[in-house]
Each structure stands twice: as structure tokens, then as C-alpha cells.
């Protein structure tokens, strides 16, 4: 899609924010300390007394007011259902949308990707990786692996463990679970794969363990070359920094020069970006919009990789899934769409009801669940029709 350059208003650019969590609150502080942006409204369905560290005068319960009073809308609520409504309204009003919302993108983002300006921001791993790719590509490198770094993984964490680590790290139990069981990282790498046209080597990706990064990177580089396609993947090593990396080839620079520059013997070079700084980096993406540049990244209009839902325990017909990602019932797993055409996205399962018995380890299909109604479901179903059409299949109907 061709995007019209951002038209600067005759006032400081107003940024409206959907969400009042850790990311949104941090962004508000960053915006308040910038010279080129003005705080707009902050959309939340909570009462003002329940919202910490946000000026009550900024709060609104109206999506319409959020959009109408903003030049740029930031969606950072972490809620796929709310995110779909905010993005839809902003795009109908012709407002550019910046997100920090991997869950939104990999669930319904592709439905909106050709309807207006939609970009994930720098700061979380996908956006930081996209910015890193821009940098290394500008130096002539050709990426073949887009990598995430994970320090710890446990698909079946206990409530006691998650309560402890939630309090210790000062984040919610839901976030702690999603980080620990790998769901957040799987979602992140699906977004990365779809933006860059990459694939995953297997269900859940390979996740090379414990090796030094340059050795793990070379192993992933060899795998990508053997498969003849760029890969989205991760390494599991608690000694590495909380960052992202690219494994790349260089088509013209001499190997001895790259060796002198401390990149190793090649032919696969691992380039590390050893941090991602969440809301502190989002300002850069907002400035990208104002400068008239295209989106940094989104899930593309025709994704090839999806986040399937895997049961962490047996469930029975009639059971309610109050919390999907970040809960104790299911986790997300990256998979090629062609291999799991009936898999239901985990991002749709908050508030869904199980309609037939499911066993531990089973991949949930659309026939196993009854999601709640809303725009997100409508968007996901329309996107599913598009994807199945691209795969030469027809969606099953009752």
C-alpha cells in the first residue's frame, strides 16, 4: 500500500494513547518530556481512581474522543478486542496508528494492514529487531535469520512460581506467565516472520540452547541456507542480554575485513542489538511517522505464519477460558499456516468457551471453541477466509 505522508498540524503533534498499563504510562512520561509532541487523551475503561500515575484530566472512556482529539493514535492496551476497535475507528478517521501490541498484530493486524497507516513501534523485540534490520541492511548485510533472545522457558509454570516472580519483578502475573511459557516470544517471532516474509523451521521454532551467540547464530544461518528461506527463530541462553540479533551474509565485503572487524570467520555473521527499551524507544517511531516515512513493521496483509493455541492441561466441554495468553490453560506456539489451517489463534480465546473435550498438548481448532463476539472475531474470520484462499482451501462451515 502507498501511504500518504503525514500532514503536520498547525500545533504540536497530539498523541492519544489507548491503554494505562506499564507501556502506556511510560510513554506518557516520555511524551510529557518531549518538545515535539503534546499529550492527547488517554483511553481507559477503568475509573480514574483505579488508574495510577495518569492525570485524570487526560482520561477518557470514549474511543471517539480519543481519536477526534489526536493527530496520531497509539494502541498499547494489550487487549486484542479493544485494540481492533480503536484501530478501526482511527483508520476510518484517517489517523495513523502506532502500536506496541504484538498480540493485536498476530491475531487481527493483517486485516487492518492495508486500510491505513499501521506500524508496530520500536521498543518491544519485534520493533527493535525491525530497526536493527534497517541498520544492518544499510551496511550491505543480507539477513537470513531474524532472532530473539530468551533467557528462560517453562511451558508448564505453577501458580506459586508465577506469583513469586510477579512480585519480585513488579509485573502482572499474566505477563509473567506469558513470558515464562514462551507465548509472548512465539507471538513476537510470528510478527517478525510475517513482516520480513520469513518462515519458522518447525512448530515452536528451533530455539537453539545454551550455545554462545555466535555459534548458535552460525547454526541457525546454516539451517536457513539449507532450507533456502529466511527464518524467524530464537536462542535460549540466560547469560545473553535481553536483546535481538540478525544472522546475515555480506555479498561483497572481503571476509578478512569482517574478521578484522571482529565479526568472525563467516560466512554467517551474527549482529547483536543487546537491548530493547520499551516505551523509551516509541518516541523514535512517532517521529518516523511525522517525518513521512512508511511503517516500521506490521504483520503483512497475507501472513504465512500463525500463533496456534496449545492446551497446557485437559479441558472439558463447557469450560470458560477466562485468560488465554498469560493464563494456565493454554499457550501460544508459532506454526506455518499451511500446516495448521484449522488452528484457532490464541489471541481470540479470552472469554471463549470450550465446546468439546480437549486433551493436554492438543492444538485447539475453530471447532473446539466458541469465541466471544466482536469486531476482533469478525476481522479474524475475514482474515482466515483470505489466508485459506491463498492456501487454496475453503473455510469449513457448520
Query: pLDDT by residue (tens digit) across 244-275?
Result: 999 999 999 999 999 999 999 999 999 999 99
Tell me the CATH number at 30: 3.40.50.720
How big is the chain, counted in residues?
Answer: 398
Domain that holds residue 73: 13-123+279-290
Total domains present in the chain: 3
Q: Are 12 and 34 in contact (CB under 8 A)?
A: no
- Integer Rg of the chain from CA: 21
Residues 70 and 37 in one domain: yes
Angle (CA) 101 145 285, round 5°: 35
> Which H helix or E strand runs over 77?
none
- Secondary-structure breakdown of the chain: helix, strand, coil percentages, each rounded to the nearest 5: 40, 20, 40
Residues 375 and 310 in one domain: yes
Using alpha carbons, list the distances in angstroms from residue 155 to 193, 218, 351, 361.
Answer: 22, 27, 22, 10
The string of DSSP letters for 213-234 reads: HHHHHHHHHHHHHHHTS-EEEE
The pLDDT of residue 50:
85
The pLDDT of residue 392:
80
**DSSP tag of 86:** H
The low-confidence residues of the chain, meaning pLDDT below 50, are 397-398
Residues 34 and 119 in one domain: yes
> Which H helix or E strand runs over 40?
strand 37-43
Residues 157 and 249 in one domain: yes
The pLDDT of residue 394:
67
Residues 284 and 259 in one domain: no
Phi, psi of 195 (to 5 degrees): -65, -40
Residues 156 and 265 in one domain: yes
The pLDDT of residue 397:
45
Is 164 within the bounds of a domain? yes
Q: Are 258 and 139 in contact (CB under 8 A)?
A: no
Q: Are 312 and 155 in contact (CB under 8 A)?
A: yes
Residues 352 and 319 in one domain: yes
The pLDDT of residue 5:
79
Residue at a domain's end among 257, 290, 323 = 290
The side-by-side arrangement of strands in the sheet containing 269-273 is: 208-209, 231-236, 142-150, 244-249, 269-273
Residues 101 and 159 in one domain: no
d(CA 327, CA 311): 11
Cβ-proximal residues to 333 (8 Å cutoff; 6+ apart), any chain: 182, 186, 203, 204, 307, 308, 309, 310, 363
Residues 195 and 227 in one domain: yes
d(CA 68, CA 388): 36
Tell me the CATH number at 372: 3.90.1210.10
Q: What is the pLDDT of residues 319-374, one digit of tens each?
A: 999 999 999 999 999 999 999 999 999 999 999 999 999 999 999 999 999 999 99
The string of DSSP letters for 249-282 reads: E-SSS-HHHHHHTT--S-SSEEEEE----THHHH
d(CA 312, CA 330): 5
Amino acid at each position: 500500500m502507498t501511504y500518504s505522508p503525514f500532514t503536520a498540524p498547525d500545533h504540536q503533534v497530539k498523541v492519544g494513547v489507548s491503554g494505562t498499563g506499564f507501556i502506556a504510562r511510560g510513554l506518557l512520561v516520555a511524551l510529557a518530556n518531549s518538545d515535539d509532541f503534546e499529550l492527547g487523551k488517554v483511553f481507559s475503561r477503568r475509573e480514574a481512581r483505579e488508574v495510577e500515575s495518569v492525570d485524570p484530566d487526560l482520561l477518557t472512556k470514549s474511543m471517539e474522543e480519543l481519536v477526534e482529539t489526536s493527530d496520531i493514535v497509539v494502541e498499547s492496551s494489550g487487549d486484542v478486542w479493544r485494540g481492533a476497535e480503536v484501530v478501526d475507528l482511527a483508520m476510518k478517521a484517517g489517523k495513523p496508528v502506532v502500536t506496541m501490541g504484538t498480540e493485536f498484530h498476530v491475531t487481527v493486524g493483517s486485516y487492518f494492514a492495508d486500510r491505513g497507516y499501521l506500524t508496530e513501534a520500536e521498543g518491544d523485540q519485534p520493533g527493535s529487531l525491525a530497526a536493527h534490520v534497517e541498520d544492518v541492511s544499510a551496511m550491505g548485510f543480507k539477513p537470513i535469520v531474524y532472532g530473539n533472545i530468551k533467557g528462560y522457558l517453562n511451558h508448564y509454570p505453577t501458580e506459586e512460581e508465577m506469583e513469586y516472580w510477579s512480585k519480585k519483578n513488579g509485573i502482572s502475573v499474566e505477563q509473567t506467565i506469558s513470558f515464562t511459557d514462551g507465548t509472548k516470544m512465539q507471538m513476537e517471532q510470528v510478527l517478525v516472520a510475517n513482516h520480513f516474509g520469513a518462515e519458522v523451521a518447525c512448530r515452536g521454532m528451533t530455539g537453539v540452547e545454551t550455545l554462545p551467540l555466535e555459534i548458535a547464530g552460525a547454526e541457525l544461518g546454516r539451517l536457513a541456507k539449507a532450507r533456502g528461506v529466511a527464518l524467524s527463530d530464537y536462542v535460549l541462553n540466560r547469560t545473553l542480554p535481553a536483546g535481538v540479533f540478525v544472522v546475515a551474509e555480506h555479498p561483497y565485503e572481503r571476509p578478512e575485513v569482517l574478521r578484522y572487524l571482529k565479526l568472525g570467520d563467516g560466512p554467517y555473521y551474527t549482529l547483536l542489538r543487546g537491548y530493547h527499551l520499551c516505551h523509551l524507544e516509541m518516541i523514535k517511531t512517532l517521529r518516523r511517522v511525522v517525518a513521512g516515512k512508511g511503517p516500521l513493521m506490521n504483520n503483512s496483509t497475507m501472513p504465512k505464519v500463525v500463533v496456534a493455541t496449545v492446551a497446557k492441561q485437559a479441558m472439558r466441554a463447557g469450560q470458560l477460558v477466562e485468560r488465554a495468553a498469560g493464563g494456565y490453560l493454554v499457550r501460544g506456539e508459532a506454526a506455518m499456516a499451511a500446516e495448521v489451517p484449522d488452528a484457532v489463534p490464541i489471541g481470540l480465546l479470552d472469554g471463549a468457551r470450550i465446546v468439546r473435550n480437549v486433551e493436554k498438548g492438543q492444538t485447539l481448532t475453530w471447532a473446539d471453541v466458541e469465541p466471544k463476539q466482536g469486531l476482533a472475531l469478525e476481522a479474524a474470520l475475514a482474515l482466515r477466509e483470505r489466508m485459506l484462499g491463498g492456501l487454496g482451501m475453503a473455510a469449513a462451515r457448520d
